[in-house]
Each structure stands twice: as structure tokens, then as C-alpha cells.
Chains A and B, each alone.
Chain A
Amino acid sequence: MELTFDLVALQLFTGLALGAIYVLLAVGLSLIFGMLTVVNFAHGAFFMVGAYVGLFAAEKTGSFWLALVIAPMVVAAFGMACERWLIRPLYGRGIDYPLLLTFGLSYMLVEGVRIVWGKSGLPFDTPELLQGATNLGFADFPTYRLFVIAVVAVLLFVLWLLIERTSFGLIVRAGARDPVIVRVLGVDVSRVWLLVFGVGTGIAALAGVLSAPLQGVSPEMGTSVLTVAFVVTVVGGMGSLMGAVVAGLLVGVVESMAVLIFPEAAKVSMFVIMAAVLLIRPQGLFGRAGLMA
């Protein structure tokens, strides 16, 4: 196969769409960790549940667009219930316990989905409006992937406004630095934590719905995605929104380029990036040294 400019450009955009999904996952994970210091091992499971709820909603309402709104809200509500009743009792008991709890939770979610929707994967149709390809001037590109990139860009902008420009965002940023001081100042931190967990899991669910037309849905789809989210977070730097964006796109593009040039290495490429970052800059590309020591 010859490497033409068109082919490389096409694969670059495929990588960006793939990376956009990774960005969403890592942003949610990073947001939850930054605030709650909880490593959410159920993040992949929430992603998977989001895809299934989206499938269910799309079947019932007949609209992909409604599913895109309903699934994140349902999963966010569920995530908030988990934070309130399962994770909250573990605060102050050491950082490993919430992690272990979410790991057990992910087992239950995967098996729960298997009970409700069956063990095998299901197809998820691309909405009619987004089928086909769009000409970008140099190449035809699948419209749905462009749509994914656009949605992620808009969502990131909204998230950035929320965190950097609102008083809620101010509390989130302050809480990530020092929750004790924020509490002393009279803020009900536990309510903020509840909301942040909801937002994080909701974003994971949105990523699930967005990726469903690309790969279909299956109970195991969350497992590989969890690893990717971890790699992206480690590469970008935990607790950094910018880091998640850059690292997510980087991992996505490198992976799809590797498919083109050296397919055997595609799956391993992101681990090579992670190893390199760990050797050169252990706190991640945009991570602050000393944070979470």
C-alpha cells in the first residue's frame, strides 16, 4: 500500500475522531479525580452503560438526538446515587478504598447489562442525517466522525466556561487545590462532589453514545476504554483539562497512524507514548509536579 497524502490526511482525521472520544473519557476521569481524589475504575462501565441506555432511548423514542441527551442524564443521576450511597462512606479511609469499590461496581454494572441486554454485542445505527461522507476539500470524510469531533469541541468549550467562568467552577478549582479551606469558607463541599461525580459520569455516558455508531455496543466495550482513559490521563497529567485534550488527541492520532504504517504495533503504540512520558516527565505533559504526591 502506498502512502498518499489523501490517505494520511484521512487517517489523521480518523485519529482525531477517535482521540475526541478518548478526550471525553479522560476529562471525566480527570475531573472526578481532581475534585474527589477518587480514581473511578467504573468509568469504563459508565461509558458502556451510557451506550446501552442510548441504544434503548433511541429505540423507544426513535431519535438519536434525544438519546444523546437522555443517556448522559440517566447515567449522571445513577452516578450521583453511587457517589452518595457507596463512595461517600469511604472518604477519609485512604485513597485505595474508593478505587476498589468502583472496581467492584464495574463488575456489577457489566453483569447487570448482560442480564438486561444479553451477552453479545448489538449494532447501533448511525442517524440518517449523519450517514455518508462530507468533502473536506482534499478528501471525503465520514460525516459522523466529523460530527463527533464537533460535539466534543463544543462540549469542551462549555466545560471550560463552566470551570473557568462560573462561581461553581471557582469552587471546583479551589476544591481541587484544598478541600479543607473551601469547607472552612462555608461551602458545602459534599454537594459539589456529588455534582462533579454526576458531570464526570455523564460525560462518560455521552462518550459511550457517541462511540456506539462507530463500534456498536457490547458489555465489554468499557474495559479497553478504561485502559485508554488511564493512559491518556497519565500522559496528559492528572487533573489537567488541557492535558486530557492534548494527550487524548495525541493517543488517537498515533494509534490510527500506526494502523496505517505498522498495524501490529497499533494496540501497543499508546503504551509506548506512556512509557516515554513517564521516563521524561513523570507528572504528565501538563501535570503539576507534587500534585497528589
Chain B
Amino acid sequence: MSAINPTLAAAPPRSLPANAFAAIAKHRVLATVLFFAIFPWLMPYQSLAINILIYGLFAVGFNLLFGYTGLLSFGHAAFLGVGAYTAGILIAQYQMPWWAAVPAAIVAGCVVALVMGLLAIRTRGIYFAMVTLALSQCVYFLIYQLPASGGENGLRGVNVAEVSLFGLKLNLLDPLQKYYFVFAFVALALWLLSRILASPFGGAIEAVRENEARARACGFDIERTKLLAFVLSAAFCALAGALNAIHLSSVPIETLHYATSGMVVMLCLLGGMGTYFGPFVGAALFLLIQDLASGWTEHWQLVVGAVFVFVVLFFPNGVWGTFLQKVSHDR
């Protein structure tokens, strides 16, 4: 900022909170990981904390595509679902250990994303949302008919009771230990995301978002950049799916439903698209609203829809995005 605006550079030294904030922004991975390390003690109950972590990760993956690359996909339920079903089927029916099932789920998510992406990226502009939605419905029907998936009843018996790695044993029946199991993956994913965003590729996807024609003129291969962003985004979502399968010990068929694709758009928008921490804020707010509203009325979807319409109309930067704007404005 100060390099652009000379009057700001000459301004008196920043206030302490602004300085602290700059330090946090610089070490975003560390700050986020530290925050989530104490997060379970801030929540009313620990399974909510696990849900926020998993759906936050789902939204982080979606945000890479929507917030940073500027592509609105309405088919991300497919990646969450493929991740969950792959890990779930491997664990429940092939007795595979979790450390093999989770990477397999990520690979499966990437493969599905590659096929979907190759088709969807041939279209331009607003078609993208429609094509991704249609293709994810196709994935829904295919998995629904798959004998191993359990169809309407969903997949049951994804039991991982104990995890041990390098002599460290975690009992996943204990919610707090399960939280830290999920936390380890999320921390790794957040570090990876930060590396992606800071890399030249991170610059390229933002160039595509800001001005596709100019990015193309600069020599970027737009189609390949979009496809890679799509696949990477799906990898995060598939990981979230696999973790959710282990968390729930089952995979409900609703994971693949169109409403799940819509939900992740909502999480991202509510928190603030194109921000590093926003998706988690969105996930926390959404799950808390859902938790409160469902206790208050069985028609909680009406509340969710109304909040969504309100955010689109009046809060397009989301809660965290608006907060960031305020902070950078005060500086």
C-alpha cells in the first residue's frame, strides 16, 4: 500500500493493532494453525469444531477456484463425494488402512476433476456453472447406481477407531483426539495452499481472474491454468470428503447432492471469497446459523436462503472480507 501512496508512507508509525495484523497476515499459515490448535475450546461442543474444520477445508478448496481463479463451479459436491466414497469404500469394504485410503481418495478426486474440467473448461463464462452442475449430477447418478456405494442408504461402516503413526496413537472415538487427527491434515493443506498462492502459478490464476484477455496476451496458457486450478481445488475437496467419511463413519448420499455444491458456494461467499481465512469464517457462521435455526424451526433452509440473499445483496465481500477491508482501510 505504502509504495503506491506516498502520503501513507510519510504517515506516523502504524498503531499497534495494525502492526500486529500485518504480522499475522505475513505468517498466515502459522496464525491459522495456532488458532485452530485452540479452536476446540472456543466451541460449544467438539463435533461442531470438527465439522467447521472439515467444511472449512471444503470451502478452502472451492475458494481456490471461485475466489482466486474467478471460476464459479456448481459441481463441487462431486469432489467431496468422490473423496468420501473412495475413502469409505476402501476402508469399509477392502479393509484398507486410513493412510492408504486418504491419498487414494485425493487421487480419485483429481481424476474426476480432470475429466469434468476438460469438458467444462471448453465452455466460457457463465456456461461453466451450468456444465459443472450437470456433470456433478451425472456423478451423483453413477455413484448412486454403483453397487458398492449403498445407493439411497449411503455407505455405512467406515470405521477407523484408532490411528497410529510413528508410535503416536490417537483414539478416534474420543472427539478431541479426532479433532487433532483432522487438524493435522487441515494444517498440511493450509500450508500447501499458502505455497500455491505464493507461487508464480498463484499469480497466474489471479491474473486469469482479473483479466483473462490480458493474461492470455501475456502468454499464459489460460486453459491449462484453469484446468490445473480446477484439479487442485478438487484435491482439497476430496481430502475434506475423505476426512468427513472417517469423521461420520459413513457417507450419506446427500454428500453428492446439488445442495452440497450450493452450500460450499454459500460458505465461501459468507466468509469472503478470495481471502485466506474467509472460508473457515463462512463455514463457522453457516454451521452455527444452521445449528441455531434448526433448533428453532424445522424450516431452517428458509433462514439459510434468506441469509444468502442478504449477503449477495448487501455484503458481497462476506464477513471476513469486509473485516479485512476495514482493517486495511484503517491502516
Which A residues have a C-beta under 8 Å from some C-beta of B? Answer: 33, 37, 39, 86, 89-90, 93, 95-97, 99-101, 103-108, 110-112, 114-115, 223-224, 226-227, 230-231, 233-234, 238, 264, 267-268, 271, 274-275, 278-279, 282, 292-293
Contacts and interface: CB of A to CB of B under 8 A. Distances in A.
A274 B316 CA distance: 32
A292 B137 contact: no
Contacts of B119: 275, 278-279
A110 B301 contact: yes
B96 interface: no
Contacts of B134: 227, 230-231, 234, 271, 274
Contacts of A268: 138, 141-142
A223 B312 CA distance: 21
Contact of A95 (B126, B142, B265, B299): B126
9 contacts: A90-B312, A93-B316, A97-B312, A100-B265, A106-B305, A227-B133, A234-B134, A274-B131, A292-B126
A274 B308 CA distance: 30
Given A90-B313, A101-B313, A39 B123 contact: no
Contacts of A264: 145
A111 B299 contact: yes
A186 to B, nearest CB: 29
Given A230-B131, A230-B133, 14 more contacts: A39-B130, A90-B313, A101-B312, A101-B313, A105-B309, A112-B302, A115-B302, A226-B133, A230-B134, A234-B123, A271-B138, A278-B120, A279-B119, A282-B124
Contact of A39 (B126, B135, B309, B312): B126
B72 interface: yes
B122 A99 contact: no
Interface in B98-144: 119-120, 122-127, 129-131, 133-135, 137-138, 141-142
B299 to A, nearest CB: 5
B78 to A, nearest CB: 12
A107 B265 contact: no
Interface in B163-200: none
Contacts of B133: 226-227, 230
A227 B306 CA distance: 23
B138 A37 contact: no
A159 B258 CA distance: 32
Contact of A293 (B124, B135, B308): B124
B302 A100 contact: no
* Residue of B72, B130, B258 contacting most chain A CB atoms (<10 Å): B130
Contacts of B312: 90, 97, 100-101, 104
Contacts of B33: none
A86 B122 contact: no
Contact of A282 (B123, B301, B302, B313): B123
Contact of A89 (B72, B127, B135, B313): B313
Nearest to B314: A89
A107 B125 contact: no
A264 B301 CA distance: 32
Contacts of A111: 299, 301-302, 305
B304 interface: yes
Contact of A278 (B122, B129, B302): B122
Contacts of B120: 278
B154 interface: no
A278 B117 CA distance: 12
B262 interface: yes
A212 to B, nearest CB: 22
B269 interface: yes
